[in-house]
Structure 1
Amino acid sequence: MGTEVLLDVVDGVATVVLNRPEARNGLNLAMCLALREVFEQLDSAADVRVVLLRASGPAFCAGADLKERTGRDASWVRRRRQASFAAYEAIERCSKPVVALVHGAVVGSGGEIAMSCDFVVASTDTTFRFPEPHWGTVGATQRLQRVIGRQRAKELLFTNRAMTAAEAHRVGLVARLTEPGELDAAGAGVAAEIAKAPPLSVALTKQAVDLGAETDLDRGIRIEMAAIERNLADGGWQRGVADFNGSVKAAERDREG
């Protein structure tokens, strides 16, 4: 892994950083390969409880780096696009909860990266734009519509307009908003809350939600039951019950005191 993507793990929290600030973190082939490598590594990392994905510099990601396509043929561009799809998939399939912390410009491929995460925390100065058709290409046609709906996705893709963080929050692309300058602290708080839960129950919950989204309710319930059985077999659920009972008793003592 080169310098395009940085990785740091502290107390069970992995921080992945898009690190091409001089190019506004434009997604190039090297970054695609690095993202795939680091998320495949994190998927099986026993010491990691949660992953935060953020970016250095004033923009989260200004989209695909079109400069690297100069002088390339269609075959190269096709392989490059396949590399980006593999990177998104590696993020999406990571068994750990992955939270995107976005700020500034989130354009094209930057939006794909963010939507590949489990949810997005955004600074209020963030803007989202999906200009692929206006750049003479095709992209963001699948994840975007699944997140915000078909008509909204078409409107953004066809017009190339910028969507504010407030609108993105309203339509479900962003889960939480934070003030500029407070994004890292907000991310640390989210990571700390996630890390409190038993790792297996969180992993099984993520898997059940993702698999359930691909089927009907009846099959989704069967997926959840299978996850429950696996969780019961592990025995870690007993800690959750003990923690809950402990918190109830502490609350009762506080009321009596």
Structure 2
Amino acid sequence: MTQNGTVRLEVKGRRADVVLARPDARNALNLPMCEDLVEAFALIAANSEIDLAVLRAEGPVFSAGADMKERNGRDEAWVMMRRRAAFRAYETVGACSIPVIAQVHGPLVGSGGEIAMSCDFIIASTAATFRFPEPQWGTVGATQRLQRVVGVARAKELLYTGRVMDAEEAHRIGLVTRLTAPEALVQTVDETADCILKAPPLAQKLTKQCIDQGSRTDLASGIAIELSAIDRLLSESDWRGSLQQFNTSVGTAARKKKA
């Protein structure tokens, strides 16, 4: 458990689970949870044996968004401090060097969406719902990540109206990468995690780095980023061993197909 007890960090082998653990408050994001998210991912970054993280939540709700009750009796300076803390939490999740999967099983609102979108991709249950009601609540939020995931026009429509979007639509517009039946969600995430962990860790980290950095630049600069990653991979990894392992697995699969 992290310092404030709002986030639980579970490490098993090469996988870490970061669990939002305020189910009685519908996992609403408050200042202690912002701090705990930063702490959890700092602990992951400090552990070289962890090669993948899954971000999930306790209880029936993934996250009800920002804990608006925190603002009672607060002044403008406190609200700005609190918002900066939230952005630090999102940025810490997004900056994680290893693959991070968001496992979404129920309602996701506002800041919960920011947390999930900070992960590499979202695997969601068909029972999940998505809502970005910030303007409806008299505030501003999700204006940057959401448009980069679903496009400018869709982000505007979702934010302006604050409507509830079902999982099927979220999948169709690209917010959700994989959609599963509720009873299959955990197994799907576990299988996806196991598949990712089969690849050499450095290759996965460099792939993530190349995609993240390349998405912010032009194609020529992106290719230079990838070439730099390839150079590092050749000098720091057992790439010949990985190639031999790949060739062996292909040969085994071919023999099984013939049998």
The residue aligned with 1:100 is 102
Name the stretch that deviates more: 15-24 or 243-252: 243-252
1:188 CA drift (Å): 0.9
Consecutive unaligned residues in structure 1, runs of 5 or more: none
The residue aligned with 1:241 is 243
The residue aligned with 1:77 is 79
Kept in 2, the 8 Å contact 1:8–1:14? The answer is yes
Name the stretch that deviates more: 92-101 or 174-183: 174-183
The residue aligned with 1:22 is 24
Name the stretch that deviates more: 236-245 or 200-209: 236-245
User: TM-score scaled by structure 2?
Assistant: 0.97
1:251 CA drift (Å): 2.2
1:243 CA drift (Å): 1.4
1:256 CA drift (Å): 4.1
The residue aligned with 2:231 is 229
Query: Equivalent pairs: percent with the same residue?
Result: 56
The count of aligned residue pairs is 257
Task: Please state whether the residue corresponding to 2:176 is helix, strand or coil.
Answer: coil
1:103 CA drift (Å): 1.5
The residue aligned with 1:7 is 9
The residue aligned with 2:149 is 147
Q: Which amino acid in structure 2 is aligned with residue 203 of structure 1?
A: K
Task: Please state whether the residue corresponding to 1:174 is helix, strand or coil.
Answer: coil
Between the aligned partners of 1:121 and 1:248, the Cα distance in structure 2 is 28
Q: Residues 103-252 of structure 1 correspond to what in structure 2 (within 5 A)?
A: 103-252=105-254
Question: Cα RMSD (Å) of the superposition?
Answer: 0.9
State yes or no: 1:88 paired with 2:57. no
Kept in 1, the 8 Å contact 2:104–2:125? The answer is yes
Name the stretch that deviates more: 185-194 or 233-242: 233-242
Kept in 1, the 8 Å contact 2:23–2:61? The answer is yes
Between the aligned partners of 2:241 and 2:148, the Cα distance in structure 1 is 36
User: TM-score scaled by structure 1?
Assistant: 0.98
Between the aligned partners of 1:3 and 1:226, the Cα distance in structure 2 is 41
Task: Please state whether the residue corresponding to 1:121 is helix, strand or coil.
Answer: strand
1:182 CA drift (Å): 2.1
1:65 CA drift (Å): 0.3
1:44 CA drift (Å): 3.0
Kept in 2, the 8 Å contact 1:198–1:236? The answer is no
Q: Which amino acid in structure 1 is aligned with residue 174 of structure 2?
A: G
The residue aligned with 1:54 is 56
Between the aligned partners of 1:94 and 1:161, the Cα distance in structure 2 is 31
Give deviations 1:144-193, integer Å, cap 9, x for gaps. 00000000000000001011111111111000011112222211111100
Between the aligned partners of 2:258 and 2:73, the Cα distance in structure 1 is 75
Between the aligned partners of 1:119 and 1:256, the Cα distance in structure 2 is 37
Kept in 1, the 8 Å contact 2:202–2:237? The answer is no
Between the aligned partners of 1:113 and 1:236, the Cα distance in structure 2 is 35
Between the aligned partners of 2:254 and 2:127, the Cα distance in structure 1 is 43
Q: Which amino acid in structure 2 is aligned with residue 188 of structure 1?
A: D
